[in-house]
Chains A and B, each alone.
Chain A
Amino acid sequence: MPTSRARRRLRAFALAAVVLASASCSTVPTGGSIFAARDTGGGDPLSQPYVRILAGPPKPNGSPLEIVVGFLTAAASFDDPLRTLAKQYLTGEAQRTWSPFDAVTIYDNGKPTIDTPRDDIQQAHVALTGTMLGELDRDGHYVPNAASAGSGLNKGFTLVKVSGQWRISSAPAGLLLSNDDFKRAYRSFDLYFAAYQSVGLVADQVRVPINPGEGLAKSLVHRLLAGPTTPLRGAVESAFGPNVDVNGVSVEGDTVVVDFTYGIVDSAQVSGYREALSAQLSWTLKPLTESRRIEVRVNGEQFPGGPFIIDPRDYERFDPDVLSSQPTTYYLQQGRLHRIDKDSDSPVTLGTGGQARQFTHLAVSNDEPPKMAALEKSGGVWVTGITSGNQWQRWIEGPGLTPPSWDRYGDVWSVSRQGPGKSQVIRAHEPSRQLPVSAPELESTDVKAFRVARDGARVAVISDDGRGEQVLVGSINRTNWVVENLHPLVPAEDGQRIVDIAWRDASTLLVLTDTKSDRELTPWSVTQGVRVETAKAAARIESITAGPDPISLLAGTAEGEVLVWDPQKPKWSTLVKSGAGAPVYPLG
């Protein structure tokens, strides 16, 4: 009996040992609690993947074609902003004259061809032919090639033999980049600048060159400090002073640290600028920092007087699109103001002074409560409040006024056609106190529509200078009260009529064009000067109003219908059957 007990005890002990040993053997658990899978990947979170050209020195005994291709490749390589390697392809004389900073030309379908068939002579000509796409101006602003300037590219290179090797003795000024090179070497970013009186932000778009030695975020901040591009110059202001520079951008945990030189302290002391520069920085860096907080430091140390931390959520109200939630839609029906209720499809009649005036072309301000402006049939822009008891008051009068347009500062804008080919821009802030605004580029044209963007800085104009209707985009300099920097967005074409324009968001303008065959609605990027999407068919439509996504696009027809664009189907569906005037959203 004792032996059997001892044996049993021994067996239990051996079993326990085996269990323990096997438990310690399985090192990877096969069960357990559930963890959130976050991206902990290394690398610079502010960076984006990019491809670099690995340029090399000239190929020994290379043919002229190879030398030219090598030069173009080396010039497209952004490892070195000074393009030292590319200069090795040039003769000594050409090295002095050629500079990568002169110009940036973007082409497509480039094809180098050699003119000189014989190799034994001492000079050769290579021509690069292709399609010219556009240019990058010195601000980093991409300017698409105007259709009128012709789209062909033909650049000539001259090569001579230097100690037995072909070298380029004359090259076109600046950089010649193929479309692929351009996409590879530059990233498109929106810069944000403070609108007049820092009431909001205005978007500006630039191409930031990738510099591997600097990092994308630093390049972007650097570019932001340099100020707005030409189309916005004068219309916006930067809260960063002229003597601010960036030392570096780094990530520390959940915070992005932007290190400036001491000038930032001076800039932040100007009243209202601290908030404005925070908004600028937070909005500009948003594509890279996402929802991280941003800390501003001065030469690596904490901002004097406490940490300067920017939480992006605090600056959402600076949205350059201005409209965020679904705004109320208004329209006029038989001289009365109606509102489209989101919940019920039936329009609600608002009580306003039902005078026997014929109002068309309603415009709604963004005030609370909103003000209404409309064009009276006999001429003049009349304004009323939305509450009952408010009366229509005439704010602007003049011959041939365009439909009124509100800006965010509470001004009503219109253009008076004072004769054929003679226009005057007028604004008014109070009843019967209209102020003329200088617009040198519009004075000798016929203006059909004048729409101030919701950010208050840009304007879009339908004008006809005799060559046909075109859409111009410019900016308002509110310091000198000038509408300036007007450049064509939609060029005039034969048989093309611009029916209506509407701002979708801060940088997109919807253009309703009518050609002989078709009527279509096209969104254009104001900042890039290109079509954003393909055109939508828009038969019967006479007027449009739009807002940033997800605000739906509305249109009015000549028959008094109100249509809404359903992006899912995608087609127009009817919202109001008949009798309605053009629907409008606030501003835009």
Chain B
Amino acid sequence: MASPTSSSGAVRTASRPKAKRKTRRTPRQIVRGVRRRARRAAGRVRRIWRRSLQLRVVTSTMVISMIVVAVLGTFLFQMITTAVLDGRVHAAIAEAQANVTTVTSYLNQPQVAVSKQSVVSQEDNSEILMGAPLEQAALALAVRSDSRYSVVILNADEVGQDRGTGNVDPKSVPRQLRDKLRQVKDPPQWWQYTSMYYLHDPKPVPALAIGSLVSNIYGGDYEVYHFFPLDADVYTLTMVQRWLIVVGVALVLLLAAVASLVTRQVVTPVRLTRQAAERLAAGNLSERLRVRGEDDLARLATSFNEMASNLALKIHQLEELSQVQRQFVSDVSHELRTPLTTVRMAADLLYESREDFEPAASRSAELMQNQLERFESMLADLLEISRYDAGAATLDIDSVDMRDVVLRAVGDSQPLAERKATRLDLRLPNEPCMAEVEARRVERILRNLLFNAIEHGEGRDIVVTLGADRDAVAVAVRDHGVGLKPGEENMVFDRFWRADPSRARTIGGTGLGLAISREDATLHGGWLQAWGMHGEGSQFRLSLPRQAGAELRGSPLPLVPPEIEMRRTWRGQATPVLSPAIEGGFDAD
């Protein structure tokens, strides 16, 4: 869509359309395409988000539970870490303290010559007898520690007095701890977390270092450092952390699933109710919901069902009422006809012998004749319209040339126009405009329109235009009378509607003409529309499909007269009231 390749070009270079497409695509277009796609995707997501209550509930539950689980998990982990390490530190300090006591007692024992004459047998390795107090102390600590922890003994004053147990690397001794221990001698024990190292292993091990100062009465202070490796604790804590994360994730997912389930239980009945309401609105009054249980949703369904049945009942009643009324009108019309015929015959008799009457009676006879004619035509119209209401009207379709129809209608209106000194201006196409219509009804519509135009035209010209295109034909009748007030475009088709109730009906209109005309147009599948503007006159347009039964998509003629439209375009402002009519009018253009 981003590359407007001309169809001819694509055909000519059909062998390499892709390459061509590629060369035609500029980076800006690509960016625009990507942006458009992103926008569309965002729009889709937003639409889903706005439409799905379930998604919103589940998402918010997840977000909130995630925050809660994260906060709680962090707190819990801190607590566990503190507890584990505190216990470890206490035990380690106690052990170091005991060891320091041992070392002190060894170092400060009286130095007697403990030399044995020979190296005695070393059958049992655990009973190695050392000579020097320091060696005894170091060996005692080595045996006691037994790879659980490591001890480093340092003496800064004397050469060759440094000892270590196991594989501990002397670089494990933290410099800060050593400085602190030697500067601040009270208390003589300090500890810190550090990394310890083993010989031949460059990998540091997290450890707890406890430094103690042992004073020696024979000179020189010994520093005893205990290193308790914390790798087991680190492993424990890592496992705890991993489990906390797993449990947290499981909890969040569980909560989301619960939320999803709960909302599903609520949303599904709501959705069913919505669908039922839609079907109800579409006219399916028998639509009912299934009621399950006794909860709020069940009560909603019950209320909905009650509402629907009440509605159906009311509509049924109204339909019946309207049926009764229509029947009544129809019956009244029929019933009135028989006495009217009699009255008419009597009146005709009176009218024909009016010359014999005195002038006043003659005038009365003429008046009665006129009003009886009007009454008759009104009755005929009422019958006609009641046929429409009853749905009994049928079309007698025939292919006719619309020009003949227009000419016949104009011919019928000619006497009235002459009487009103109105000139009828005909604008007919040269070629025949064939359409499948019932000529009688279309003629009646046009007649009605022309009579109406002549009546409200105030003697000015009336323009009758016939237009046609492939699918439709249209006839527009334009007058230049007072026009219509805003909002009257549709009211003109109402039964017995009158623009100015004070004005008298001069040409004896029944007030049903336009209503019947509209019913006729609708019966053909066409439109009958009105346009009018105060002081500019009005225009009525009849649009009909050329083929009976075809759907009408547009009209060949504009509803608003072209000169009005042009003037409005010049002013650059639209009449808001007219815009729907304009849209409809120009659909076919």
Contact = CB atoms under 8 A, between A and B. Distances in A.
Contact of B164 (A54, A66, A69, A180): A54
Interface in A27-57: 41-44, 47-56
B573 interface: no
Interface stretch (A183-191, A413-421, A455-463, A574-582): A183-191
A50 B146 contact: no
Contacts of A52: 163-168
A49 B163 contact: no
Contact of B142 (A51, A188, A528, A530): A51
A530 B164 contact: no
Contacts of A525: 121
A387 B577 CA distance: 144
B132 interface: yes
Interface stretch (B102-110, B154-162, B291-299): B154-162
Interface in A533-549: none
A173 interface: no
Main secondary structure of the interface of A (DSSP, over half): mixed
A532 B118 CA distance: 11
Nearest to B167: A212
B115 interface: yes
A127 B395 CA distance: 143
A101 B186 CA distance: 47
Nearest to A533: B121
A549 to B, nearest CB: 12
A440 interface: no
Given A49-B147, A54-B162, A188 B125 contact: yes
Nearest to A184: B135
A144 interface: yes
Q: How large is the interface on A (under 10, 10 to 19, 20 to 34, 35 or more residues)?
A: 35 or more
B160 A72 contact: yes
Contact of B145 (A49, A53, A184): A49
B145 A41 contact: no
Interface string B106-131: 00000001010011111101101111
A372 B118 CA distance: 40
A131 B117 CA distance: 9
A54 B120 contact: no
A32 to B, nearest CB: 22
Q: How large is the interface on B (under 10, 10 to 19, 20 to 34, 35 or more residues)?
A: 35 or more
Nearest to B145: A49
Nearest to A47: B147
B232 A212 contact: no
Contact of B152 (A42, A54, A79, A528): A54
Contacts, number: 113
A17 B155 CA distance: 62
Contact of A183 (B115, B123, B130, B159): B130
A47 B147 CA distance: 9
B135 A51 contact: yes
Given A42-B232, A69-B160, A70-B160, A179 B131 contact: yes
A184 to B, nearest CB: 7
Contacts of A69: 159-160
B159 A66 contact: yes
Contacts of B152: 54
B139 interface: yes
A187 B125 contact: yes
B119 A182 contact: yes
B138 interface: yes
Contact of A530 (B120, B148, B168): B120
A59 interface: yes
Contacts of A212: 166-167, 199-200
B118 A41 contact: no
A49 B165 contact: yes
User: In the complex, which of the residues A51, A54, A179, A212 has the most CB atoms of chain B within 10 Å of its own CB atom?
Assistant: A51
A62 interface: yes
Given A53-B160, A54-B162, A532-B121, A41 B146 contact: yes
A203 B119 CA distance: 20
B170 interface: yes
A41 B147 contact: yes
A51 B139 contact: yes
Contact of B159 (A44, A48, A73): A73
Contacts of A137: none
B143 interface: yes
Nearest to A213: B200
B68 to A, nearest CB: 21
A42 B199 contact: no
A36 to B, nearest CB: 20
User: In the complex, which of the residues A53, A62, A109, A142 has the most CB atoms of chain B within 10 Å of its own CB atom?
Assistant: A53
A49 B167 CA distance: 10
Closest 8 pairs (CB-CB, A-B): A43-B147, A73-B160, A54-B162, A188-B122, A49-B142, A51-B138, A180-B135, A213-B200
Interface of A: 41-44, 47-56, 59, 62, 66, 69-70, 72-73, 79, 106, 108-109, 131, 133-134, 142, 144, 178-180, 182-184, 187-188, 212-213, 287, 525, 528, 530-532
13 contacts: A41-B147, A42-B232, A43-B148, A51-B165, A52-B165, A54-B164, A70-B159, A180-B132, A183-B119, A183-B129, A188-B125, A212-B200, A213-B200
Given A49-B165, A52-B167, A73-B160, 8 more contacts: A47-B147, A49-B166, A50-B142, A51-B139, A180-B132, A182-B119, A188-B122, A530-B118
